Homo-oligomer: A and B are copies of this chain.
Amino acid sequence: MARATIDDVAALAGVSMKTVSRVVNKEPNVRATTREKVESAIAELDYRPSQSARSLAANRSYVLGLLYDNPSASYVIDVQSGALASCRRLGYDLLIHPCSHESASIIEEVLSLVRQNRVDGLILTPPLSDMVELVHQLVEAKVPVVRLSPTEDKKICPYVQTNDQQAAYEMTCRLLDLGHTRIGFIAGHPDHKAVVQRFLGYKQALDDRAIALDPALVEQGYNSFDSGSECAERLLALADAPTAIFAGNDDMAAGAIIAAHHRGISMPAELSIAGFDDTPVAHQIYPSLTTVRQPISDMSERAVELLLRSIDGKPKGAEASMDCCILERESTGKAPSV
Protein backbone atom coordinates (compact mmCIF):
# COMPACT_ATOMS: atom_id res chain seq x y z
CA MET A 1 0.00 0.00 0.00
CA ALA A 2 1.56 3.19 -1.19
CA ARG A 3 1.82 6.27 0.95
CA ALA A 4 -1.17 8.57 1.02
CA THR A 5 -0.92 11.81 -0.94
CA ILE A 6 -2.70 15.06 -0.52
CA ASP A 7 -5.27 13.93 -3.09
CA ASP A 8 -6.18 10.91 -1.02
CA VAL A 9 -6.75 13.09 1.99
CA ALA A 10 -8.81 15.56 -0.05
CA ALA A 11 -11.00 12.79 -1.43
CA LEU A 12 -11.57 11.23 1.96
CA ALA A 13 -12.37 14.55 3.59
CA GLY A 14 -14.53 15.62 0.70
CA VAL A 15 -12.65 18.84 0.12
CA SER A 16 -10.17 20.11 -2.41
CA MET A 17 -6.46 19.47 -2.37
CA LYS A 18 -5.90 23.11 -1.68
CA THR A 19 -7.92 23.05 1.51
CA VAL A 20 -5.90 20.16 2.80
CA SER A 21 -2.82 22.16 2.00
CA ARG A 22 -4.22 25.04 4.03
CA VAL A 23 -4.83 22.84 7.01
CA VAL A 24 -1.42 21.26 6.84
CA ASN A 25 0.28 24.62 6.63
CA LYS A 26 -1.86 26.13 9.35
CA GLU A 27 -3.06 28.85 7.05
CA PRO A 28 -5.96 31.00 8.25
CA ASN A 29 -9.41 31.14 6.68
CA VAL A 30 -10.46 27.54 7.06
CA ARG A 31 -13.73 26.86 8.85
CA ALA A 32 -13.28 24.92 12.06
CA THR A 33 -15.54 22.10 10.94
CA THR A 34 -13.65 21.75 7.68
CA ARG A 35 -10.37 21.73 9.51
CA GLU A 36 -11.57 18.89 11.68
CA LYS A 37 -12.77 16.83 8.75
CA VAL A 38 -9.40 17.24 7.11
CA GLU A 39 -7.49 16.51 10.25
CA SER A 40 -9.32 13.28 10.87
CA ALA A 41 -8.74 12.24 7.27
CA ILE A 42 -5.06 12.97 7.73
CA ALA A 43 -5.00 10.88 10.87
CA GLU A 44 -6.90 8.04 9.28
CA LEU A 45 -4.55 7.82 6.32
CA ASP A 46 -1.48 8.61 8.38
CA TYR A 47 -0.67 11.23 5.80
CA ARG A 48 2.69 13.05 5.83
CA PRO A 49 3.34 15.73 3.28
CA SER A 50 6.24 14.99 0.98
CA GLN A 51 9.07 17.30 1.77
CA SER A 52 10.40 17.29 -1.76
CA ALA A 53 7.07 18.15 -3.33
CA ARG A 54 6.48 21.09 -1.08
CA SER A 55 10.03 22.28 -1.59
CA LEU A 56 9.62 22.24 -5.31
CA ALA A 57 6.24 23.89 -5.34
CA ALA A 58 6.97 26.49 -2.71
CA ASN A 59 10.49 27.10 -3.91
CA ARG A 60 12.04 26.71 -0.50
CA SER A 61 13.82 23.78 0.99
CA TYR A 62 12.77 24.09 4.61
CA VAL A 63 16.39 23.47 5.45
CA LEU A 64 18.90 25.81 7.06
CA GLY A 65 22.65 25.48 6.73
CA LEU A 66 24.98 25.69 9.68
CA LEU A 67 28.50 26.64 8.65
CA TYR A 68 31.42 26.21 10.95
CA ASP A 69 35.15 25.79 11.05
CA ASN A 70 35.90 25.28 14.67
CA PRO A 71 38.08 22.60 16.12
CA SER A 72 36.25 22.52 19.42
CA ALA A 73 33.85 19.61 19.44
CA SER A 74 31.93 20.88 22.41
CA TYR A 75 31.41 24.30 20.85
CA VAL A 76 30.12 22.79 17.65
CA ILE A 77 27.81 20.42 19.47
CA ASP A 78 26.38 23.26 21.52
CA VAL A 79 25.78 25.37 18.46
CA GLN A 80 24.15 22.44 16.72
CA SER A 81 21.89 21.61 19.59
CA GLY A 82 20.58 25.13 19.93
CA ALA A 83 20.02 25.46 16.23
CA LEU A 84 18.29 22.10 16.08
CA ALA A 85 15.98 23.04 18.91
CA SER A 86 14.73 26.06 17.01
CA CYS A 87 14.58 24.20 13.74
CA ARG A 88 12.42 21.45 15.12
CA ARG A 89 10.10 23.89 16.72
CA LEU A 90 9.74 25.82 13.48
CA GLY A 91 9.49 22.89 11.10
CA TYR A 92 12.90 23.22 9.55
CA ASP A 93 15.76 20.81 9.07
CA LEU A 94 19.38 21.62 9.66
CA LEU A 95 22.23 20.81 7.34
CA ILE A 96 25.62 20.93 8.98
CA HIS A 97 28.46 22.11 6.87
CA PRO A 98 31.92 22.12 8.36
CA CYS A 99 34.39 23.80 6.06
CA SER A 100 37.78 25.40 6.07
CA HIS A 101 37.86 29.16 6.35
CA GLU A 102 41.24 29.09 4.68
CA SER A 103 40.01 27.30 1.60
CA ALA A 104 40.22 29.50 -1.47
CA SER A 105 36.96 28.17 -2.84
CA ILE A 106 34.91 28.59 0.26
CA ILE A 107 32.69 31.31 -1.11
CA GLU A 108 31.97 29.29 -4.20
CA GLU A 109 31.30 26.24 -2.06
CA VAL A 110 28.83 28.04 0.14
CA LEU A 111 27.03 29.79 -2.67
CA SER A 112 26.63 26.47 -4.37
CA LEU A 113 24.65 25.16 -1.42
CA VAL A 114 22.19 27.96 -1.89
CA ARG A 115 22.09 27.88 -5.66
CA GLN A 116 21.07 24.26 -5.56
CA ASN A 117 18.14 25.14 -3.35
CA ARG A 118 19.56 22.95 -0.65
CA VAL A 119 19.19 25.57 2.05
CA ASP A 120 17.01 28.60 2.54
CA GLY A 121 19.47 30.43 4.71
CA LEU A 122 22.75 30.18 6.56
CA ILE A 123 24.08 30.51 10.06
CA LEU A 124 27.70 31.55 10.17
CA THR A 125 29.78 30.81 13.23
CA PRO A 126 33.25 32.12 14.06
CA PRO A 127 35.66 32.36 12.41
CA LEU A 128 33.55 32.19 9.23
CA SER A 129 31.25 34.87 10.55
CA ASP A 130 34.25 37.17 10.78
CA MET A 131 35.12 36.84 7.11
CA VAL A 132 34.02 40.16 5.70
CA GLU A 133 34.30 39.10 2.09
CA LEU A 134 32.22 35.97 2.57
CA VAL A 135 29.48 37.78 4.43
CA HIS A 136 29.35 40.53 1.83
CA GLN A 137 29.08 38.13 -1.07
CA LEU A 138 26.29 36.22 0.61
CA VAL A 139 24.36 39.35 1.43
CA GLU A 140 24.85 40.57 -2.11
CA ALA A 141 23.54 37.28 -3.46
CA LYS A 142 20.47 37.89 -1.30
CA VAL A 143 21.11 34.83 0.78
CA PRO A 144 19.51 35.14 4.20
CA VAL A 145 22.33 34.99 6.73
CA VAL A 146 22.75 35.32 10.46
CA ARG A 147 26.14 35.73 12.09
CA LEU A 148 27.20 34.46 15.46
CA SER A 149 29.77 37.16 16.04
CA PRO A 150 30.27 40.58 17.44
CA THR A 151 30.14 43.07 14.63
CA GLU A 152 30.72 46.64 13.65
CA ASP A 153 28.63 46.65 10.48
CA LYS A 154 25.45 46.34 12.42
CA LYS A 155 23.27 46.92 9.43
CA ILE A 156 24.57 44.35 7.06
CA CYS A 157 22.81 41.30 8.42
CA PRO A 158 21.27 40.03 11.63
CA TYR A 159 23.65 38.75 14.24
CA VAL A 160 23.84 37.35 17.74
CA GLN A 161 26.70 38.23 20.02
CA THR A 162 27.97 37.93 23.56
CA ASN A 163 29.77 40.54 25.55
CA ASP A 164 33.12 38.77 25.50
CA GLN A 165 35.02 41.92 26.27
CA GLN A 166 32.97 42.68 29.34
CA ALA A 167 33.31 39.12 30.67
CA ALA A 168 37.06 39.13 30.15
CA TYR A 169 37.20 42.48 31.89
CA GLU A 170 35.38 41.06 34.89
CA MET A 171 37.50 37.95 35.01
CA THR A 172 40.66 40.03 34.98
CA CYS A 173 39.27 42.18 37.79
CA ARG A 174 38.66 39.10 39.86
CA LEU A 175 42.24 38.04 39.44
CA LEU A 176 43.38 41.52 40.39
CA ASP A 177 41.12 41.40 43.43
CA LEU A 178 42.83 38.17 44.45
CA GLY A 179 46.06 40.14 44.66
CA HIS A 180 47.58 39.15 41.35
CA THR A 181 49.43 41.97 39.68
CA ARG A 182 51.44 40.05 37.14
CA ILE A 183 48.75 38.35 35.09
CA GLY A 184 49.82 36.58 31.94
CA PHE A 185 47.50 36.46 28.98
CA ILE A 186 47.41 33.82 26.30
CA ALA A 187 45.71 35.40 23.32
CA GLY A 188 43.57 33.41 20.95
CA HIS A 189 43.56 33.16 17.19
CA PRO A 190 43.67 36.64 15.64
CA ASP A 191 41.09 35.72 13.00
CA HIS A 192 38.54 35.01 15.66
CA LYS A 193 36.97 38.30 16.57
CA ALA A 194 35.22 37.27 19.77
CA VAL A 195 38.46 35.85 21.10
CA VAL A 196 40.29 39.03 20.24
CA GLN A 197 37.74 40.99 22.23
CA ARG A 198 38.68 38.98 25.28
CA PHE A 199 42.15 40.42 25.08
CA LEU A 200 40.67 43.90 24.94
CA GLY A 201 38.77 43.19 28.15
CA TYR A 202 41.98 42.10 29.83
CA LYS A 203 43.79 45.22 28.68
CA GLN A 204 41.00 47.47 29.78
CA ALA A 205 40.91 45.98 33.27
CA LEU A 206 44.64 46.49 33.74
CA ASP A 207 44.25 50.00 32.47
CA ASP A 208 41.42 50.80 34.86
CA ARG A 209 43.51 49.57 37.76
CA ALA A 210 46.49 51.56 36.56
CA ILE A 211 48.65 48.52 35.97
CA ALA A 212 50.96 48.78 33.02
CA LEU A 213 50.57 46.02 30.47
CA ASP A 214 53.85 44.11 30.32
CA PRO A 215 54.23 42.84 26.74
CA ALA A 216 56.33 39.96 28.02
CA LEU A 217 53.24 38.64 29.75
CA VAL A 218 51.19 38.41 26.59
CA GLU A 219 51.68 35.35 24.42
CA GLN A 220 50.04 34.68 21.10
CA GLY A 221 48.24 31.33 21.06
CA TYR A 222 46.01 29.78 18.41
CA ASN A 223 43.08 28.46 20.42
CA SER A 224 44.51 24.96 20.66
CA PHE A 225 45.53 23.00 23.72
CA ASP A 226 49.07 22.61 22.41
CA SER A 227 49.50 26.30 21.68
CA GLY A 228 48.27 27.09 25.20
CA SER A 229 50.74 24.70 26.68
CA GLU A 230 53.63 26.20 24.71
CA CYS A 231 52.67 29.76 25.60
CA ALA A 232 52.40 28.88 29.27
CA GLU A 233 55.76 27.21 29.08
CA ARG A 234 57.29 30.46 27.96
CA LEU A 235 55.44 32.52 30.55
CA LEU A 236 56.48 30.22 33.36
CA ALA A 237 60.09 30.25 32.23
CA LEU A 238 60.20 34.01 32.72
CA ALA A 239 62.52 35.26 35.45
CA ASP A 240 59.64 37.29 36.78
CA ALA A 241 56.90 34.80 36.02
CA PRO A 242 53.22 35.72 36.36
CA THR A 243 51.25 34.48 39.36
CA ALA A 244 48.14 34.12 37.26
CA ILE A 245 47.46 33.21 33.65
CA PHE A 246 44.29 34.11 31.84
CA ALA A 247 43.87 32.18 28.61
CA GLY A 248 41.60 33.25 25.78
CA ASN A 249 39.82 29.92 25.82
CA ASP A 250 39.59 26.72 27.87
CA ASP A 251 41.66 24.54 25.60
CA MET A 252 44.61 26.88 25.96
CA ALA A 253 43.97 27.15 29.69
CA ALA A 254 44.02 23.36 29.92
CA GLY A 255 47.34 23.41 28.10
CA ALA A 256 48.62 25.94 30.62
CA ILE A 257 47.57 23.70 33.51
CA ILE A 258 49.46 20.78 32.04
CA ALA A 259 52.54 22.91 31.53
CA ALA A 260 52.36 23.96 35.17
CA HIS A 261 51.93 20.35 36.30
CA HIS A 262 55.03 19.37 34.39
CA ARG A 263 56.96 22.10 36.18
CA GLY A 264 55.68 20.85 39.49
CA ILE A 265 53.84 24.08 40.17
CA SER A 266 50.86 23.65 42.46
CA MET A 267 47.63 25.34 41.55
CA PRO A 268 46.10 27.57 42.75
CA ALA A 269 48.62 28.00 45.59
CA GLU A 270 51.48 29.09 43.36
CA LEU A 271 49.64 29.86 40.17
CA SER A 272 46.08 30.76 39.24
CA ILE A 273 44.68 29.91 35.85
CA ALA A 274 41.51 31.09 34.19
CA GLY A 275 39.93 30.12 30.91
CA PHE A 276 36.97 31.08 28.78
CA ASP A 277 34.09 29.00 27.31
CA ASP A 278 33.35 26.38 29.95
CA THR A 279 34.01 23.43 27.70
CA PRO A 280 33.65 19.96 29.26
CA VAL A 281 37.39 19.77 29.86
CA ALA A 282 37.08 22.67 32.29
CA HIS A 283 35.67 20.47 35.00
CA GLN A 284 37.42 17.30 33.94
CA ILE A 285 40.91 18.53 34.69
CA TYR A 286 42.75 19.01 37.93
CA PRO A 287 42.42 21.56 39.29
CA SER A 288 39.04 22.29 37.75
CA LEU A 289 39.10 25.46 35.74
CA THR A 290 37.70 28.86 36.60
CA THR A 291 36.16 30.06 33.39
CA VAL A 292 33.41 31.99 31.65
CA ARG A 293 30.29 30.25 30.45
CA GLN A 294 28.66 31.48 27.31
CA PRO A 295 25.10 30.60 26.40
CA ILE A 296 26.20 29.06 23.12
CA SER A 297 23.16 26.97 22.44
CA ASP A 298 20.85 29.82 23.40
CA MET A 299 22.70 32.00 20.94
CA SER A 300 22.31 29.61 18.04
CA GLU A 301 18.71 28.98 18.97
CA ARG A 302 18.12 32.68 18.75
CA ALA A 303 20.12 32.88 15.55
CA VAL A 304 17.77 30.43 13.86
CA GLU A 305 14.79 32.52 14.90
CA LEU A 306 16.35 35.63 13.45
CA LEU A 307 17.23 33.76 10.30
CA LEU A 308 13.70 32.54 9.74
CA ARG A 309 12.38 35.99 10.33
CA SER A 310 14.75 37.24 7.69
CA ILE A 311 13.71 34.46 5.29
CA ASP A 312 10.09 35.36 5.79
CA GLY A 313 10.94 38.90 4.82
CA LYS A 314 10.51 40.41 8.24
CA PRO A 315 12.51 43.52 9.16
CA LYS A 316 16.24 43.13 8.73
CA GLY A 317 18.93 44.35 11.01
CA ALA A 318 17.70 42.27 13.91
CA GLU A 319 20.24 41.49 16.56
CA ALA A 320 20.55 39.90 19.94
CA SER A 321 23.08 40.18 22.73
CA MET A 322 23.49 37.61 25.43
CA ASP A 323 25.34 37.56 28.69
CA CYS A 324 28.17 35.38 29.92
CA CYS A 325 28.73 34.34 33.50
CA ILE A 326 31.89 33.61 35.44
CA LEU A 327 32.30 30.19 37.01
CA GLU A 328 34.76 30.15 39.85
CA ARG A 329 36.39 26.74 40.32
CA GLU A 330 39.57 25.34 41.84
CA SER A 331 42.18 26.80 39.51
CA THR A 332 42.13 30.34 40.87
CA GLY A 333 43.07 31.61 44.30
CA LYS A 334 44.92 34.31 46.15
CA ALA A 335 48.22 35.50 44.82
CA PRO A 336 51.11 33.69 46.57
CA SER A 337 52.76 36.61 48.33
CA VAL A 338 49.54 38.10 49.70
Contact = CB atoms under 8 A, between A and B. Distances in A.
A52 B49 contact: no
Interface stretch (A31-39, A75-83, A158-166, A234-242): A75-83
Interface stretch (A109-117, A122-130, A180-188, A208-216): A109-117
A268 to B, nearest CB: 14
B251 A284 contact: yes
Contact of A50 (B48, B51, B117, B251): B117
A118 interface: yes
Interface residues of A, number: 43
A-B residue pairs, 5 tightest by C-beta: A52-B55, A73-B77, A261-B286, A73-B73, A52-B56
Contacts of A50: 56, 116-117
Contacts of A254: 284
A172 B258 CA distance: 27
Contacts of A55: 51-52, 55-56
Interface stretch (A92-100, A149-157, A300-308, A309-317): A92-100
Nearest to A55: B52
A94 B93 contact: no
B284 A51 contact: no
A20 to B, nearest CB: 15
Nearest to A65: B93
A14 interface: no
A177 B29 CA distance: 77
Contacts of A3: 115
Given A73-B74, A116-B49, A80 B96 contact: yes
A48 B116 CA distance: 6
A38 to B, nearest CB: 18
Q: How many copies does the complex hold?
A: 2
Contacts of A81: 98
Contacts of A48: 112, 115-116
Contact of A73 (B51, B255, B280): B280
A257 B286 contact: yes
A107 interface: no
A338 interface: no
Interface string A204-233: 000000000000000000000100000000
B95 A95 contact: yes
A176 to B, nearest CB: 27
A251 B285 CA distance: 11
A52 B283 CA distance: 45
Contact of A286 (B73, B98, B286): B286
Residue of A51, A76, A98, A258 with highest tally of chain B CB at under 10 A: A51
A53 to B, nearest CB: 5
Contacts of A286: 257-258, 261-262, 285-286
A81 B71 CA distance: 12
Contacts of A118: 51, 93
A30 interface: no
Contacts of A94: 95-96
Nearest to A279: B73
Interface string A37-80: 00000000010111111011000010000000000011011001
